[in-house]
Structure 1
Amino acid sequence: MFDQPPLWFILIAFLLAIGPLVFFHELGHYWVARMFGVGAEQFSIGFGREIAGWTDKRGTRWKVGWLPLGGYVRFVGDMNPASQPDTTKDVAPELRDISFHHKPWWQRFLIVLAGPVANFLLAIAIFAAFFAVFGMPRTPALVGQVQPGSVAASIKLQPGDRIESIAGQDVRSFEDMRRVVSLRPGERVTIAFERAGSRQEVEARLGEQVVTDEFGQEFRIGLLGVLGGDRVLEKVPVLRIIPEATSYTFALTRSMIDGLVQIVTGRRSTKDLGGPLKMAQIAGQQASLGAFAFIQLIALFSINLGFINLLPVPMLDGGHLVFYVAEGIRRRPVSERAQDWAFRGGLALLLALLLFTTVNDLASFGLFG
């Protein structure tokens, strides 16, 4: 078991992880906005008072804020970093051609969508690099051994059976199977497998176990009770690297969606929700294990950031996308009053979630024990 990294190391690792992700996210907004001729007044990594910055020849102020928990691009015509239109004053006529809110709804949609897309593309690029250098993890989803007394034994799985799907999700490798099963402790699922060329399906309630990681943290995971063969890293043809990395990224995204659905439906405890403090701790732990583990974590964080920002919550990119789609359908913008109330509600929700996850994080650190 490893000791927890010191606080200074955790803080540095967190900044090194979250900083580039926020930069790529905002850069996605910025570059697509430039493609459509939108002017940017500020490009900020972090919030609050500026601690460093410069102004480029286009008049954009690039800066770093003291609170490194996000970032924003403030376009011409924005009232605030959340890209609400400034209704307190008219945009000068000479600036209307570069004003974000004077662009067609579909251009604004693409500008906002570009942020989360940039995070997914970064994750794909990281996984593609790993697959090119080391190969892709693709251990066959074959049952090697069945553990006595396990769920697999109770449904009479046998060595040589090939698992094809679990809980309606296709299984292409042992890694896929482990990912699907671990998210479903104690759940009743349908398991499809092939035996001697014949496809069979059975229903079973997965087992569960509390496991402890290298740093003494406990996690509740699902268990099937099968062992596979030796881990296989399959060489990927050059032309297949990007498609495979894309497929791998979206498989991880689906796992995140699974986890969120389980929390919302009550199948998983809300104690599993982590916030910035937990992210910082995990960043420090993975960085202490080496560059390989840390870069993999950055890819996971990038997927997480892209996914969260696509949620239809006002103040997040997903909330803006809903407004722009509504505008495209209605042929007119959502009323300023409705947008204002939506943004207020979205801000309250995000602050409440931040408070809740922070309390969760502190509890997981043993503060209330």
Structure 2
Amino acid sequence: MTGFIGQALLYIVPFLLVLTFIVTIHELGHFLVARAFGVKIDRFSVGFGKTIVSWTDRRDTEWRLAWLPLGGYVKFSGDLDASSVPDQAGLAELRQRVIAENGAGAERDYFHFKPIWQRALIVAAGPAANFLLAVVLFTVLFSVVGEQIVAPRVARVAPGTPAAEAGFRSGDLIVAVNGQPVREGAEVTRRVIMSAGDPLRFTVDRAGQTVNLTATPQRRLEQDELAGQVRIARIGLEMSPLPQDFTYRRLNPLEASAKGMDAIGDTVGTTATYIGRIFTGKESGDLLNGPLGIAKAAGGVTRQAVQANPDPAFIAANLALTFLQFAAIVSIGIGIVNLLPIPVLDGGHLLFYAYEAVARRPVPAQVQEVGYRVGLALLAGLMLFATWNDLQKLSLFKFLGGLA
């Protein structure tokens, strides 16, 4: 029982802390831009469910801390439905009610009567806050830890693999992939993972001589310490740098911020490439993670940080830096997901506003209802698919299959 509680604390608590922190920042983005435009806001809640503590500010906004730490939400005055995009009839009804209760002109303080560009900025502010958070966290990381570049030096070539067939040798230094220069091993690994079944052209430095090699990544089943069992593309290289392959420098805040934005661009680009390959049938989606996978990763980074050094001060510092990086990556993911053009997400609202800007009227209620239901189905399907991946990575079905 004690072991179970320990595992629950190791995996669930870090996951909930990171999720609540990131979602709160997301909602704070909506809140701050809405308040800047004078929008009347009923509630800002951190967590869901029963209220632990609450207070009301001078603008009559209730600030609430709830007992279920699964994120949070902002409630604008006058929200009529779950999609928060009422049609013409809904707007007319809301306008009439607001004027009757508060007098003529009061409706101008309500979100739905703000100009389209203001509403769009308020909606986009949530994902923008996630990306901004990631920039801030990466800036702190690169300022404190600095930048260490580890050149992609080949240490061993596994026999019978695409790398062996291509002619790679121990000691080769990879300098370019498909004609694009690479500086570190992580870049090579990322390109390989995103190219299953597609030939890659490698330019290597072999004892001062330039050699061109071609290898096609192939998927294979691996056990990852953080993600569990994953089917991932490899070519069969084990990379290990020589002393001269290490480059380290401490970045000033401006350089660290630029490096953070580069990291976000790389993550967004890689995600877009992977999703595109799923739709073209080149990837199965094995690397998509749901809540279970994220929780397992949160527990994994916690365990690694604790095991790195038993000194309490080192553990605290390592945990802080590790979770800064983990939170930055998860924040980027939440920002990307919220921009998907699904009606229940911020991207869906932006899609509706784009229609309204062109048609000069809101999307009809019937269309919104259908879009909302389809969006829920798509989102539920995506979550089920990601959770299925999580369960397979955790080998749960093999475990259950062995029970009698």
TM-score under structure 2 length normalisation: 0.79
In structure 2, how many angstroms separate the alpha carbons of the residues matched to 1:59 and 1:366? 51
Q: Name 2:59's counterpart in structure 1.
A: 58
Which residue in 2 is equivalent to 1:344? 373
Instruction: Return the alpha-carbon distance in structure 2 between the equivalents of residues 223 and 128 of structure 1.
Output: 31
Q: CA deviation at 1:358?
A: 3.7
Give the deviation of 1:106 after TM superposition.
1.1
Q: Does the 8 Å CA contact 2:130/2:335 hold for their aligned counterparts?
A: yes
Cα gap change, 1:264/1:367 in structure 2, threshold over 3 Å: closer, same or farther?
A: same
1:193: which partner in 2?
Answer: 203
Name 2:175's counterpart in structure 1. Answer: 163
Aligned residue number for residue 227 of structure 1: 239
Structure 1 residue aligned with 2:10: 9
Quote the Cα distance in structure 2 between the aligned partners of 1:82 and 1:48.
Answer: 20
- In the TM superposition, what whole-angstrom CA distance separates every residue of 1:47-81 from its partner, at most 9, and x where no partner exists? 44444432222111222445443432111221246
SS at match of 1:305: helix
CA distance in structure 1 between the partners assigned to 2:37 and 2:203 by the alignment:
51
> What count of residue pairs does the alignment treat as equivalent?
364
Q: How far off its partner does 1:226 sit?
A: 5.4
Q: Could you report, residue by residue, the CA deviation over 1:224-243 in whole angstroms, capped at 9, with x for unpaired residues?
A: 32525255433334432211
Aligned 8 A contact 2:219 2:231 in 1: yes
CA root-mean-square deviation: 3.0
CA deviation after TM superposition for structure 1 residue 169, in Å: 6.7
Change (3 A) 1:315 1:245: same
- AA of the residue aligned to 2:20: G
Q: Which runs of 5+ in 1 are unaligned?
A: none
Contact 1:273 1:357 in 2 (8 A): yes
For 1:14 and 1:310, how far apart are their aligned partners in 2?
A: 22
Q: Check whether the contact 1:10–1:284 (CA below 8 A) recurs between aligned residues.
A: yes
Matches of 2:239 and 2:270 in 1, distance apart?
A: 21
Match of 1:95 among 89, 106, 113: 106
2:339 pairs with 1:310: yes
For residue 74 of structure 1, give the secondary structure of its aligned residue in structure 2.
strand
Q: Deviations over 1:235-291 (max 9, x none)?
A: 334432211110012212222223323333333334543322322222222223221
Q: Which residue of 2 aligns with 1:320?
A: 349
Deviations 1:15-67 (A, max 9, x none): 21111101100001111111111121121233444444322221112224454
**CA-to-aligned-CA distance 1:157-179 (integer Å, 9 cap, x gap):** 5655543235x876343221122
AA aligned to 1:188 is D
- Relative to the length of structure 1, the TM-score reads 0.86
Which residue does 1:152 correspond to in 2? 163
Where 2:300 maps in the other structure, the secondary structure is: helix
Asked if 1:297 is matched to 2:326, the reply is yes
Residue identity in the other structure for 2:380: L
1:245-256 correspondence to structure 2 within 5 Å: 245-256=260-271
Q: Which residue of 1 aligns with 2:146?
A: 135
For the residues of structure 2 that align with 1:199 and 1:84, how far apart are their CA atoms? 59
Aligned position for 1:124? 135
* SS of residue in 2 equivalent to 1:72: strand
In structure 2, C-alpha distance between the alignment counterparts of 1:315 and 1:289, rounded to whole Å: 36
CA contact (8 A) 1:123 1:299 kept: yes
**SS in structure 1 at match of 2:199:** strand
Supply the AA of the counterpart residue of 2:107. R
Contact 1:74/1:83 (CA < 8 Å) preserved in 2? Answer: no
Unaligned runs of 5+ in 2: 100-104, 306-318
Provide the secondary structure at the position in 2 that maps to 1:218: strand
Cα distance, 1:366 vs structure 2: 4.2
What whole-Å deviation, never above 9, does each CA across 1:170-222 have from its counterpart, x for those lacking one? Answer: 634322112222344x4223325265999886543114443323469222332
Moved more, 26-35 or 342-351: 342-351
Secondary structure of 2:176 counterpart: strand
Larger radius of gyration: 2
Which amino acid counterpart does residue 285 of structure 1 have in structure 2?
Answer: G
